[in-house]
Amino acid sequence: MSVPFTVPAFADGAAAAVLEVLGSGWVTTGPQNAAFEKEFAAYLGAEHVLAVSSCTAALELCMRALDLPPGTRVFTPSLTFCGAVAAIVHAGHEPVLVDVDEDTLVVTPETIARAVRLHGSPGAVMVNHMAGYPVDPAAIAEAAGLPLNRVVEDVAHGPGGTVRGEQAGARSFAACFSFYATKNLAMGEGGAIATYDGDFADRLRALRLHGMSKDAWRRYLPGGSWRYDVKEIGLKANLSDFQAALGRAALKELPVWQERRAKLVARYDAELGELVRLPARPDPERHANHLYVIRVPGRDAVMAELAEAGVATSVHFIPVHHLTAYRDLPGARELPVTDRLGEELLSLPLYPSLSDEDQGQVVSALTSALRRRSAQCV
Ligand SMILES: *Cc1c(COP(=O)(O)O)cnc(C)c1O
């Protein structure tokens, strides 16, 4: 009788794909990684894709490879996952927290322009495609007075959204994806970077594995040599071939999963519209439908009632500046919209295997919780 908040989607071919890697004798970064990178690049329509161990690592690698002076101020929304802001810090820079748009939950040219008036121009901007709402990096770059190669995109809630009619990340300088267990495309753990810039891709390829000029697989290829050099000290952020194989299997089913997500979203929209403030929809772009986020005054009490009715929900996100380690970051005291949202955002179950019946249970539990509350208020 209970509806989980999320259930990871693994493809039908997932188990066979993992066993094949096990039998192949090559389990770390190798042929499955190379094939996944090619296939994901084709899916996005992107020039270069690099698979890495996580989206957090992808963000840190990109922030490092921008070659900004140490301590550069980087705008980031506070309404994001804490790991994204940590990536800026670990790269040696200073996050400056900025507010988001009240309807779309993402940074917009207007919120960025306001942040520039408050804090001056940043050296770079990190944006979050929150819940799957697509962000146009070119518009953000322009508002910040920066070139496009100073915008790092957190597309952990993609893939599936579109920007200017193409897949989010297709024309990006630095688009970072997550393949964590709950994301639209899941490997358990994993990430990727998409970029149009070949030199940036080459640097990232070395930086993701200690800065080595050749990874182990390429050293063992016919004609490969045991010799390598390290020109720049990198991270250990490569992906195993087990995970890449899972990703390849998932990629085949992703369009079907995205269709199911869109259908579930349409039903929530249709059945909840009179009760709550619905999530904004981009037009004419496509939303990646990773999360279904509504706004509910008295959110904590409603969540508790839903839990009692067997419906698990979650919160995306606790604004970063409400977390102890981040509360004194620059900008933390000038986030009125994010502060309001932090009390009201509620994420409902949304995943391809969510059945019509279970979704019905979510809708009816939420309806009765909200009706009870409004009856108490009069
Ligand atoms: C999940 C998530 C991340 C982190 O992804 P990992 O692959 O777990 O590192 C970063 N940003 C956002 C917005 C996320 O939701």
Residue 373: per-residue pLDDT: 83
- Give residue 205's pLDDT band: very low, low, confident or very high (50, 70, 90): very high
Residue 377: per-residue pLDDT: 66
From the CB of 81, is ligand 1 less than 6 Å away?
Answer: yes
Residue 375: per-residue pLDDT: 80
Residue 218, pLDDT > 80, answer no
From the CB of 132, is ligand 1 less than 6 Å away?
Answer: no
Hey, which residues are catalytic here? Answer: 183
Which of the listed residues 62, 81, 129, 318 should we mutate to test ligand 1's pocket, taking the one with most ligand atoms within 8 A of CB? 81
For the segment 223-238, the average pLDDT, to the nearest whole number, is: 91
Residue 120, pLDDT > 80, answer yes
Residue 314: per-residue pLDDT: 98
- How far apart are the CA of 183 and the centre of ligand 1, in A? 9
**22-76 residue pLDDT tens:** 999 999 999 999 999 999 999 999 999 999 999 999 999 999 999 999 999 999 9
The structural domains of the chain, with segments of one domain joined by +, span 14-250, 255-377
Q: Given 2.60.40.10, 3.40.50.10440, 1.10.260.40, 3.90.1150.10, which CATH number is that of 255-377?
A: 3.90.1150.10
From the CB of 122, is ligand 1 less than 6 Å away?
Answer: no
**331-373 residue pLDDT tens:** 999 999 999 999 999 999 999 999 999 999 999 999 999 998 8
From the CB of 217, is ligand 1 less than 6 Å away?
Answer: no
- How far apart are the CA of 375 and the centre of ligand 1, in A? 39
For the segment 275-304, the average pLDDT, to the nearest whole number, is: 95
| Nearest CA owner, ligand 1 atom 5 | 55
Residue 74: per-residue pLDDT: 98
From the CB of 78, is ligand 1 less than 6 Å away?
Answer: no
Fold classification of 14-250 (topology level): Aspartate Aminotransferase; domain 2 (3.40.640)
- How far apart are the CA of 289 and the centre of ligand 1, in A? 15
Residue 253: per-residue pLDDT: 97
Residue 1, pLDDT > 90, answer no
* Topology alike, domains 14-250 and 255-377: no
From the CB of 127, is ligand 1 less than 6 Å away?
Answer: no
Residue 378, pLDDT > 60, answer no
- How far apart are the CA of 60 and the centre of ligand 1, in A? 12
Residue 292, pLDDT > 70, answer yes
* Contact in structure between 76 and 125 (CB atoms under 8 Å): yes
What is the chain's mean pLDDT, rounded? Answer: 96
| Nearest CA owner, ligand 1 atom 1 | 156
Residue 162: per-residue pLDDT: 97
